[in-house]
Every structure is written in C-alpha cells, then in structure tokens.
Amino acid sequence: MAYRDLREFLDLLESENQLVRIKEEVMPEPDLSAIGRSAPDVENAPAVLVENIKGYKTPVVLNVHGSWQNHALMLNMPKDTPVKEQFFELEKIWDRYPIKPVWVDKKEAPVKEVVIEDDINLFDVLPLFRINEFDAGFYLSKALIVSKDPNKPESYDEQNAGTYRIQVKGKDKVGIQPLPFHDIAVHLNHAEEKNEPLPIAICLGNDPVLSFMASTPIEYAQSEYDFAGALKGEPIELTKSENGNLDIPARSEIVLEGYIMPREREIEGPFGEFPGSYSGARLQPVVKITKITHRQNPVFENLYLGMPWTEIDYLMALNTSLPLYKQLKRDFPEVEAVNAMYTHGIGTIVSTKSRFGGYGKAVAMRLLSTPHGMPYTKIVIIVDEFVDPFNLEQVMWALTTRVRPDKDVFKVPYAPGMPLDPSSEPAGMHTKLIIDATTPVAPDFARDTELLGVPEKANEWLETIRNLVKEGGNK
C-alpha cells in the first residue's frame, strides 16, 4: 500500500491534487462545518486540512473520504476509477480476509508518543466544534471505538471496532449512542448485567481503511482489523491500550481511553444525522475518560454530516453495498451487484438474474433478513441482471417499463426500522416497500387443475386392511 496511516494518506492525496490546505486563521464555528459542507460540492471534492483554528493548537482535516477520487485512492486504484469498478475491486480484495494484524510494543507505537494521565481536558487536545447549528454540543463523528465482550475478554474476533457518535459533555466526560443492533450494545449489556464499567478506546485520526471498516456492517464474530488488512494487502499495526487490554491502532493520531459507566444515562442529542435531519434527544450511556494518548503534533479528523451528498455518504456507500452483496450472493448466486449507497442502505437496488417466477421478490425478502438490511433497508428495488444498479437512468428505465403496481409492488408492515430515519414511526419501526422491476419469468411448470383419480382396486384393499386391523393378525 502507498500509505500506512492518516498522515501518509494525506500526503498521497496532496500528491494527487486531492487535498487543499487552509493556512489562514478560521473560526471553529461556523467555518469548520461550512468547510465540511462545501468540500464535497467542489470538483473532485478534495480533503481539506485546516491548519490554524482560533483558540486551538491542533489542526483539523475534513472530507478525507468525501469523493469517489479519494475513495479510489484509498483502495490503491487510479483516482478516476468509476464507482462500479471500485465495487468489484472491493469484492476481489474482500476475499483476502483475514489478514491478521501485527502488534507493536507500546514503546514503539506512534500513538503513545504523548501520554496524558492527570488533569484530563479534552478541550486542550481537540479542536471541538458543532457540526451542525442545532447540535446539542460538540461531537466526534469519525471515531473508531474499540470494545470487548466482558464475558469473552480474550476473544480477538468478537472484539468490536465500530463507529458511534460521541458527544463531548465535559472536560473528561462524553456520551455515546450504542443502538440495540450495534455490536457494542451487546458488550455493554453484558457489562451492565454485572454492574461493571465497560472499557473502551475512542480512536481518532485513523488509517482511512480502518475508518472504512469501522462503519461497515460485517458479522459479529468477524474482525474489522482483519478486513482492513485484507483491503490493504498487508497487516494493520496494533498496540495495547493503557486500560482494559484493548487492541487499538498503533498509528492513530489520538486515542481517548475510558469506561462506559454501568447503568448511567444522560440526555444525548439532538444531532444532525446521516439521513439529513436532526435526531431527537435520548437517554444514552456516559463515558468517563481516564487517559489520552496521541502522536506529536496530532491531526484531528472529523466528519461533516448533512443533506446528501456529504463525506458520510461516500464513506458508507460501498462498505454497505459490498457486505449485503456477499450475503445475498451466498444464498442467491444469480445476484449480480448491490447498490446500497443511499442513506446507509435505507434505499437498496439489487440486480439479479431470475431463476424462476417471483425470484426477484425472494431476493428482496432475503435482503430484508440480513443483519444490516433488517433494521436499515426500507425501500428495495430489484432489477434484471443486465441493468446496472449504479446507473440510475437504467434503474428508472426498469421501473417505468417493467413494474406493474398491482403485482410487483408490495409492503411489509410493522417491520424493524432505523430509529434515526425520521419517517420511522414509532422510532425503530417501518413499513418496508419492495418493488420488483425484473422482467417476468414463467414458472417452472404450467398450472394444472385436473384432479387425481382413485387407484383401481383401492376399495377392495380398504376392506382388506380393515379386516386385518379387526383380526389383529396378518394375511
């Protein structure tokens, strides 16, 4: 790979004219959020490194994943690679899983260059700002959070490295949102059953492949680190946390270590979320920060969320599409591609060859039973194998020429939903919509309603069997 961490990736982006630097002093608000909102709308949508923020000493980088050009460079492909080619390249390297990490001694890990154990103050280290105007406070929107199941503390594969929103609540306290279907919620539930704190590490400024995998819906017992190694073609470097025996990226810029306090909840939110609207305020767990480690002269990376498309839409596009594709392909080999780029898969388009009549509907139902499709996907469109699901003009052609609303459109009421989708009612419940836009295929056999006759001599044998039962013997 051409890079080992965020710093080296920023160098790569700059060499490809995919990074710009803002050197003049800017205000934390509203400038940083305005920059994050604007960058994806610029041609080629470069990353933006803001070097001088009033009141802070740490620079901020935004929009690292916020274009298909940057996404291609992350995958070690030419920056002008079309998105469909990126999808199939991702599929190819996905199958290199697992490539196990290598562990770096703490003394050699760049993220341990500075260790802060006393007088923890997040405001001294992080250039904090509200991402959207009516957010409840400062949010860390691009953190990789590491946790382990307290019932299986030695299980590497069941360790989780996921992305969850983090609200700064004080100089050494943050809130976290672990939704029930997230892996960290399983770990927290097991810790709270014992009334024990759950150690976590909040890792900021990561290798872009790690950020990519932290927001990818893989299976519970699969390792984000092993997948990141597969995508890079080489092992990820890990080291041990100061607390809790967690495996953390050795080359992160900043790591906040602490504990989710058991059975404590505080109001968290509202927050401008990925569907392009504010979430509500809810009681969520609280994290006590006990240590901070960081590199010399760290770079703080954050992510802007807004009306599509912004960086989060690029980040969660193919890493949502590919796992759904692999899960569907395993059971339905006729599936050609999956486009779940729209709002983290709330809208998903699948192209498939139909093996028999009604096959498209069966594919849709399987999608809605996958770990990610079950809570997230609300609208499913199934198209023929010759329709490119990444080409919306072709998809619209299929919708307008293949769909009969009386037989090809149906609803699944009272199904699981994504509570951050403002259309879910109550929050977390949905009616799913399935549109079968495939060319009709005849069933394997024609309908035949001719009734079967009674075999000859059936009545004679009926009497014989009755007599045998009465006699209790044989004939």
Which residues form the catalytic set?
273
Q: How far apart are CA 254 and CA 166, in angstroms?
A: 14
Cα distances (angstroms) measured from residue 290 to each of 127, 207, 391: 19, 24, 49
Alpha carbons 157 and 160: distance in angstroms, whole number? 8
* Phi, psi of 458, deg, nearest 5: -60, -40
Instruction: Check: CB of residue 143 under 8 Å from CB of residue 175.
Output: no
Quote the distance between the C-alpha of residue 470 and its chain's center: 69
Q: Where are the beta strands (DSSP E) in 165-210?
A: 166-170, 173-176, 198-204
Per-residue 3-state assignment (H helix, E strand, C coil) for 38-89: HHHHCCCCCEEEECCECCCCCCEEECCCCCHHHHHHHCCCCCCCCHHHHHHH
| Token code pair at residue 363 | 């594919």
**Coil, strand or helix: which one is 110?**
helix
Half-sphere exposure (CA, 13 Å, Cβ side) for 475? 11
Q: What are the residues whose beta carbons fall under 8 Å from the beta carbon of 269, sequence distance 6 or more? A: 136, 167, 177, 278, 279, 280, 281, 282, 284
Residue 349 host element (H or E): strand 347-352
| 3-state SS class at 262 | strand
